[in-house]
């Protein structure tokens, strides 16, 4: 079934269902969370075969939801 050509019997059965099933609802002011990450890595080789590596990672979360509601 491709989602476009739905048999009429399936549509009729769906229409006859009671409206008391589970519901997934979203709070009206809900913003989809996003996370921004920036990485920077540098390597430097010294004359005596030493290698120095520096990595910096910056992470920022926007609109994070922790299960709390505002009063």
Tell me, letter by letter, the H, E, C secondary structure of 48-61: CCCEEEEEEEEEEE
Structure tokens at 52: 């120095």
User: In the predicted model, what is the mean pLDDT of residues 31-50?
Assistant: 92
Domain count, the chain: 1
In contact, 52 and 44? CB cutoff 8 Å: yes
Model pLDDT, residue 41: 97
For residue 11, tell me if it sits in a domain: no
Model confidence at 68, pLDDT cuts 50, 70, 90, reads low
For residue 7, tell me if it sits in a domain: no
pTM, two decimal places: 0.40
For residue 43, tell me if it sits in a domain: yes
Residue 19 has pLDDT above 90, yes or no: no
User: In the predicted model, what is the mean pLDDT of residues 45-52?
Assistant: 93
Residue 47 has pLDDT above 70, yes or no: yes
Higher pLDDT among residues 64 and 43, named by residue:
43
For residue 25, tell me if it sits in a domain: no
For residue 18, tell me if it sits in a domain: no
d(CA 45, CA 43): 7
For residue 21, tell me if it sits in a domain: no
For residue 49, tell me if it sits in a domain: yes
| Helix, strand, coil distribution of the chain in percent, nearest 5 | 10, 35, 55
For residue 23, tell me if it sits in a domain: no
Domain that holds residue 42: 33-63
């Amino acid at each position: 079934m491709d989602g476009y050509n739905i048999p009429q019997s399936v549509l009729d059965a769906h229409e006859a269902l009671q409206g008391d099933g589970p519901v997934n609802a979203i709070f009206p002011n809900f913003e989809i969370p996003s996370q921004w990450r920036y990485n920077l890595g540098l390597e430097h080789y010294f004359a005596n075969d030493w290698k120095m590596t520096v990595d910096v990672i910056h992470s920022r979360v926007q609109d994070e939801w922790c299960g709390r509601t505002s009063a």
